[in-house]
Structure 1
Amino acid sequence: MTGPRPVRARPRPPWRALLRTGGRALPAVLVLLLVAAAAPLLAPYDPAAGSLHERLLDPGAPGHPLGTDGQGRDMLSRLLLGARPSLACGIVPVAVATLAGTALGVTAGLGGRVTEQVLLRALDVLYAFPGILLAIAIATLLEGGAGTTVLALSVVLTPAVARVAFTEARRIRSTEYLEAARVSGAGPAVLALRQVLPVVAPVVLVYSSSLVGLAVVYAAGLSLLGIGVAPPAAEWGAMLDELRPSLLTHPWIAVQPALTVLAASVVFNTLGEALRHRIGGEPHDAHGAGEPHDAGEPHDAGEPHDAGEPHDAGEPRHTGERHDTGGASADRGRHPAPEAAR
């Protein structure tokens, strides 16, 4: 008599895995992006239209839930419209730095010693300056605006991303499957695109997701100093600059743009941390099926890794090397943001 047939678990859709990975931060990021896209439809007033008879109204005033600024403009409308340039100045530089940094890091990791040293020393020159000071210097030399902010932050963030990509590319450049691809006649471009990039990309994307919050703060700081997006544009940093004279007399009005910048930064940082912990703890998510481990990396082929299996106290665990596929040795996962690294 045969027993009951085992029930196979249904595979979960990819979007559910992504939601589980990002936790509550991913819906918050999606809400921020939707608000920025639909801001003209959501704003109750024209953000540039003001009235001197309604200037500096406290939050909760009739018709103005968040009050008005020094020119009588509705704060809710300006905060909603300011989401688009503020988030754009945070996301676009990270995207540019991700593409440029990945290309430079993979080139340095797969190139010869001369190529590696030239690229790394050039990046070290930029990496030696504090991030915000370098951004201020670049924005000061150029004409202010959203384009200048994007360019300055792209230059600031690229060296950090390139370091992460280089460390991961260097870790796998001596593996057996890359040597086999070289012997089979694959050129440098084929190796980089088909063999190295699929391994490096998850690490870089996870790290870059945590840089968006920092870029949003940097962009607001440049506008606050008057070298970013200039007033009267509705941008969170520019709004802070305009509301500085009212900080002591009407603090609940003046701090609203700062709280918005803080909330956006926390949301993106939380998403980056969730992705880093998830991908950093799942080794086989980054390595493809059948992809060999590093030849010099200890690997117990006969013993599966079981979280509930007792472990000999005298035997060293290889959790830092065997299961670090998304990261790049010591730099991956713990690699600081550009400002902290300096």
Structure 2
Amino acid sequence: MYIPERVLPQGSAEWLEWRKQGVGGSEIYSLACYADIFSDFLGETRLRVIKPRKTPPAWAATPIQLYREHFGIRKRQIPAFQAERGHRLEPIARELAAETLGVPLEQACVYPDNRPACRVSLDGYHPETGHLIEVKAPMNPWESCPEYVIWQTAYQAEVLRQAGYSVTDILILEIGDDANGELSVRNWDIEDTDRHQILGKGLLDLGEMFYNRYLATATPPPYTRQELFLIEQDETLLELAVQWEELKNEEDSLKRRLTELRERILTYANTHCHGQPGIEGYGLSVRFSETSTRTDYRAALEALAPHAELSAFQRVSNTSATIRLSTVNRPVNVRDSSDGMTFSSTSGWTSY
């Protein structure tokens, strides 16, 4: 089926819904980058044909990411300024191409009636002559026509043929502009060779399989090996994080309990030391000591008394307390002495 731009405007809500009913040209290269995880369906021969030779670029979505984009779980990662630039320059490039080819070009949406999962949204096409164009507005000039463009146009051309339309030539327009608005346009001709057509046929098989097996049935596709590795790392890290949080919560609770217990111990020791420097027993030791005094120079300066006795501004001595607990609280030796009961532990002291 061939749907011209005037019937289904690109970017409209209807167009977005139309795209969700299949796999498009902008997605097929990403699928091909990870086609090895579908080797059970594709087989070694088709896999060798459609598998890109280069390492997948950073922007290439994995099958599970494409699945999530389809169902709105993940948003496609395209910078807004880059999308705006493409929308602004594409009509200019299409008009220039129409002048060069001498035929009117129109945007169109196409899919074969017998393979509706394979659908493309074309930047420019002329049904009578078979002229097909694809417009790209890269941020930096290309040194050569990128691999993903060749894969995309192979898919587009094969969808057109399967839908009953011809493809006589494929023209890629690389368009850009500088800060002064000066346009630069380069044309890249893609030869629709037998190899290019074989690639297109394999990509149609891949797109149709992905839609029917995963998107139409809402079944998540397999993860890539890298994703499986990251998931395993994430699971381990999550487990460690949970354990850390649990122990930190226990630690905070213990600190609060220790603070409360310390206050209880000091309160008890204060009321039962009977003038002694502290108490001890059952491995617990509490000792009170006077801290050294210091001069409060701030108070002296504020007094502005040139002959003031600084000793008069000394602060009252503070009382500090040290609580120690032996590492082993048993056994405890108890013996009589002339000044009462004395407690001692069989192990050393540990300060807290």
Short-chain TM bin = under 0.3
The structure with more radius of gyration: 2
Q: TM-score, normalised by structure 2?
A: 0.22
Q: Whose relative contact order is higher, 1 or 2, with alpha carbons under 8 Å and at least 6 apart?
A: 1
Higher helix fraction (1 or 2) = 1
Q: TM-score, normalised by structure 1?
A: 0.23
